Copies of this chain bind each other. A is one copy, B any other.
Amino acid sequence: MMFSKACEYGIRAAVYIALQSLDGRRVSVSEIAEEIDSPIAFTAKILQQLNRNNIVHSVKGPTGGFEIDRENMDTVKLSMIVKAIDGDKIYTGCGLGLKECNAQKPCPLHDKFVDIRSNLRTMLISTSLFELATGLEVGLTYLKR
């Protein structure tokens, strides 16, 4: 609805990796896919994107896998993941599908849409991976069901 499937998997994967990195564990694609209940090969592609965008860090070879350093858990915000995977149409797009959102020639929904989107934007910009992972750690939230 709001995010693409790829983006949903990307966020779930990043949160899982963050959680495990807090324990010093590096995790493989197959473990991630298992734990977030996502298609493994597709998840691998998404992790490649996150790696290229320096959101996660990957290590090849035996004992390799994905990890996120403690610093990144705070600096990486949801907005960065969404941007890496879905681009910024979430910010620049018009709610009614006009070429782009444009306050000079607004669609009928513009004012109300901009309001909602700004809430969303603020939320994404202010939510860190660490924040999402710690809820999991305490067992209050879930990455699959």
CA distance A133 to B107 in the complex (A): 11
Can you tell how many copies of this chain the complex includes?
2
Interface-side segment among A25-33, A42-50, A60-68, A111-119? A111-119
Residue of B nearest to A15 (CB): B108
**C-alpha gap A90/B15 in the complex (Å):** 23
Q: Which residues of B contact A140 (CB under 8 A)?
A: 106
A77 on the interface (CB 8 Å rule)? no
Using A112-B127, A116-B120, A127-B112 as known contacts, say yes or no to A98 and B1 having CB atoms under 8 A apart.
Answer: no
Taking CB atoms, residues of chain B closer than 8 Å to A78 are: 109
Task: Collect the chain B residues with CB atoms within 8 Å of residue A5's CB.
Answer: 97
Residue of B nearest to A112 (CB): B123
Identify the interface centre among A15, A89, A98: most chain B CB within 10 Å of its CB.
A98
